[in-house]
A = this chain, B = another copy of it.
Amino acid sequence: MFAVTILGNNSAIPAFDRHPTSQVVTIDGTNYLVDCGEGTQIQIINYKIRRSKISHIFISHLHGDHYFGLIGLINSFGLLSHQQELHVYGPSPLKEIIELQLKVADTKLCYPLHIHSINGAATLIDTDKLLVKCFPTHHRIECYGFSFTEKKQPRKLLPEKAIAMEIPSLFYDRLKQGEDYLRKDGTLIRNEEVTAAAGPGKTYAYCADTKYDEALLPHIMGADLLYHETTYLDNLRERAESRFHSTTKQAALIAKKAGVKKLLIGHFSSKYDTLEEFEMEAREVFPETELALEGVAYQV
């Protein structure tokens, strides 16, 4: 499974039962938390997110609606006897803030906490299964987006066919990597005869707070699912510009230019009590748009 569950879809001030930004990206049973506004630990309880499966947290920037809930989460993990390492990635002052707050409370965490500072576009995680990158967005202060890409899966072995072709099981791993097999009698067994294609690795790209900026395109091109902020409806384009935010149609235009499969919009201003117009406006430009609604899991 590769999905994104929305914990908070609002901008700066909590309003209309919408909460500040936080999302959980679930890949193969591991939860990656993206941003952590105030109250995220309560939203995690409300939506039954498995806390023990959170080992990485990504903070886009240091405006409060994206990280004021982090210290509470870190602290509660300690009180709840969290065991695994916790890796937090964010702009460099984050480390000082968190460490200061732990120090004044004389808090000794019972698990290893690693706070990694981000400085410009970079690869944050690169395993044989997953690639996580960060890239700068265009906001009032230093701010990052994140992309999560599943690595190409190995091909799927068709065991009954491999047995029928008398391929030794020691060679199966090489079959999964796409190799053909040459039998001792000189017959070439082509890989496609004994394996099935793997699904392609999918990509989720998260553009945190940003004004409309085509410099984002290389980082999000062709994503299966793109999250892009839409703080305002399109009639407030000037306000969006001045506050380094985007409108519905701007987000939809970026999605279109990036050729993504699907767009998820959020970070709605507290001035709006309903969200229907956000969806309508964005769909005029990019029909495959959905509202990021709290508690909903969107498949990538």
Contact = CB atoms under 8 A, between A and B. Distances in A.
Interface string A53-93: 00000000011100011011001100110000000000101
Interface in A92-114: 93, 96-97, 100-101, 104-106
Interface stretch (A34-42, A215-223, A289-297): A34-42
A79 B242 CA distance: 15
Nearest to A94: B104
A79 B13 contact: yes
Contact of A69 (B13, B38, B79, B91): B38
A79 B106 CA distance: 32
Nearest to A70: B68
B106 A12 contact: no
Given A38-B72, A93-B100, A104-B93, A14 B62 contact: no
A53 to B, nearest CB: 18
Given A39-B38, A39-B42, A12 B76 contact: yes
Contacts of A183: none
A45 interface: yes
A182 to B, nearest CB: 61
Contacts of A96: 100
A55 to B, nearest CB: 20
Interface string A267-294: 0000000000000000000000000000
A141 interface: yes
B13 A76 contact: yes
Interface in A103-153: 104-106, 140-141
Contact of A71 (B68, B76, B104): B68
Contact of A38 (B38, B45, B93, B106): B38
Given A12-B79, A64-B71, 9 more contacts: A12-B76, A13-B79, A38-B41, A38-B42, A38-B69, A62-B104, A68-B71, A97-B104, A100-B100
Q: What 7 A-B pairs come out closest when comparing CB atoms?
A: A93-B104, A38-B72, A62-B104, A64-B75, A68-B72, A39-B39, A13-B76
22 contacts: A12-B75, A12-B76, A14-B41, A14-B42, A38-B68, A38-B69, A38-B72, A39-B39, A62-B105, A64-B72, A64-B101, A68-B68, A68-B71, A68-B72, A68-B75, A91-B104, A93-B104, A96-B100, A97-B97, A97-B104, A106-B140, A106-B141
